[in-house]
Amino acid sequence: MHQTLSTPVAVEVDVHVAGLRQWTNVSALEWRTVCERHCNMLLEGREEATAAALLLLRPYLGGIAHWNQGTVLLEPPSRHVRTLILENVTSLRATEQTNLLTWLSAADQRIQIVSTTTQPLFPFVARGDFDEQLYYRLNTVLLHID
């Protein structure tokens, strides 16, 4: 990839194809690079489309912990957690966002975050409804899914 990992990368994804490796405008080499580097990914699109994309991504993810509304992350992550899946991140309340950042900082290893949203997340940041630090942590690779 030509961009640094700290710069968000936007990619258009068509989930109607046989797999995510057949993204439009993304080569198989770039796909492998994203997977091998365990980049944080923000999947943006319809709920059923992001769920389908998560299923396609699962074989490339390891040590998965799953967060959805109502899950409490109080204990520091164990060594086996390498990937955190966050569904519908726009539903995270301010206290949950703070707790999530604390949880991630307590990890003794880097944890990949794969999150989903049905709405663009940046307007939530602009209104102050979503923590800016968490937004940039989640949004390394932005995947628009149709």
**pLDDT, averaged across the chain:** 76
Residue 78 domain flag:
yes
Residue 2 domain flag:
no
Query: Domain tally for the chain?
Result: 1
What is the pLDDT, as a whole number, of residue 105?
A: 85
What is the identity of the amino acid at 100? L
Residue 3 domain flag:
no
State the residue range of the domain holding 120: 9-145
Residue 1 domain flag:
no
Condensed to tens digits (0 to 9), the pLDDT of residues 50-106 reads: 888 888 788 778 888 887 666 666 566 677 888 889 989 998 889 888 888 888 888
Q: What's the rounded mean pLDDT across residues 14-37?
A: 53
Give the domain CATH number at 108.
3.40.50.300
Tokens of residue 59, six digits: 């074989």
Residue 4 domain flag:
no
What is the pLDDT, as a whole number, of residue 114?
A: 92
Q: Which long-range contacts (CB under 8 A, 24 or more apart) does 76-81 make?
A: 76/103, 76/106, 76/107, 76/108, 77/103, 77/104, 77/106, 77/107, 77/111, 79/108, 79/109, 81/107, 81/111
Residue 133 domain flag:
yes
pTM of the shown model: 0.76
Residue 56 domain flag:
yes
